[in-house]
Structure 1
Amino acid sequence: MRLAEAKQVKEMPYRVLFLEDDPTIREVLTEYMLVTGYQVITAERGDRALEFLKEQTFDLAVLDICVPGVNGFEVLKSIHESGKRTAVIMLTALEDEQTQVKAFNLYADDYVIKPVSPIILLKRMETILRRTTQNAADERGQEKGLILQEEAYCAFYGGEKLPLTLTEYLLLHRLWQEPNRVFTREQLILSIFNEDYIGNDRIIDAHVKNLRKKLPASCIKTIIGVGYQFDREAGGL
Structure 2
Amino acid sequence: MKKVLVLEDKAEIRQFIVINLKRAGFNVLEAETGEEALEILKNEDIDIAVLDVMLPGIDGFEVCKKIRETDKTMGIIMLTAKTQEIDKINGLVLGADDYVVKPFSPSELVARIDALYRRVDMVKNDKKEEIICGPFRLNFAQRRLFKNDMPIEVTQTEFSIMKLFLENQDKALSRDYILDAVWGEDYFGNAKVVDVNIRRLRQKIEDNPSKPKFIETVWGYGYRWKKDEHVEGN
Quick check: TM above 0.5?
yes
1:106 to 94, 103, 127: 94
Do the aligned residues in 2 keep the contact of 1:221 with 1:231 (CA within 8 Å)? Answer: no
Do the aligned residues in 2 keep the contact of 1:46 with 1:71 (CA within 8 Å)? Answer: yes
SS of structure 2 residue aligned to 1:141: coil
Q: Cα gap change, 1:163/1:100 in structure 2, threshold over 3 Å: closer, same or farther? A: farther
Unaligned runs of 5+ in 1: 1-12, 147-155, 182-191, 193-206, 223-227
2:226 to 206, 223, 230: 230
Do the aligned residues in 2 keep the contact of 1:91 with 1:111 (CA within 8 Å)? Answer: yes
The structure richer in helix per residue is 1
Q: Cα gap change, 1:25/1:214 in structure 2, threshold over 3 Å: closer, same or farther? A: farther
| Equivalent residue letter for 1:230 | K
Are residue 160 (structure 1) and residue 154 (structure 2) matched? no
C-alpha separation between the residues in 2 aligned to 1:56 and 1:208?
Answer: 32
Partner of residue 179, structure 2: none
Are residue 142 (structure 1) and residue 133 (structure 2) matched? no
The offset of 1:106, in angstroms, is: 1.0
Q: Cα gap change, 1:179/1:75 in structure 2, threshold over 3 Å: closer, same or farther? A: same
Taking only aligned residues, the RMSD between alpha carbons, in angstroms, comes to 3.9
Deviating above 6 A after TM superposition, structure 1's stretches of 4 or more consecutive aligned residues are 175-178, 207-210
1:36 to 8, 24, 36: 24
The offset of 1:110, in angstroms, is: 0.4
Partner of residue 178, structure 2: none
C-alpha separation between the residues in 1 aligned to 2:38 and 2:125?
Answer: 28
C-alpha separation between the residues in 1 aligned to 2:114 and 2:202?
Answer: 34
SS of structure 1 residue aligned to 2:100: strand
Q: TM-score, normalised by structure 2?
A: 0.63
Percent identity for Structure 1 against Structure 2:
32
Per-residue CA deviation, residues 181-233 of structure 1 (Å, 9 max, x unaligned), is: 7xxxxxxxxxx9xxxxxxxxxxxxxx979743499xxx7399xxxxx970188
Do the aligned residues in 2 keep the contact of 1:22 with 1:44 (CA within 8 Å)? Answer: yes
| Equivalent residue letter for 1:97 | E
Q: TM-score, normalised by structure 1?
A: 0.62
Do the aligned residues in 1 keep the contact of 2:169 with 2:227 (CA within 8 Å)? Answer: no
SS of structure 1 residue aligned to 2:22: helix
C-alpha separation between the residues in 2 aligned to 1:209 and 1:28?
Answer: 38
The offset of 1:157, in angstroms, is: 3.1
Larger radius of gyration, structure 1 or 2?
Answer: 1
1:1-237 equivalences under 5 Å are 13-83=1-71, 85-138=73-126, 140-145=127-132, 157-158=138-139, 159-160=143-144, 162=152, 179=170, 211-213=205-207, 220=214, 230-231=226-227
C-alpha separation between the residues in 2 aligned to 1:134 and 1:229?
Answer: 22
Q: Cα gap change, 1:31/1:145 in structure 2, threshold over 3 Å: closer, same or farther? A: farther
Unaligned runs of 5+ in 2: 146-151, 173-191, 193-200, 217-223
Per-residue CA deviation, residues 1-35 of structure 1 (Å, 9 max, x unaligned), is: xxxxxxxxxxxx11111000111111111001111
C-alpha separation between the residues in 1 aligned to 2:215 and 2:81?
Answer: 42
C-alpha separation between the residues in 2 aligned to 1:180 and 1:66?
Answer: 41
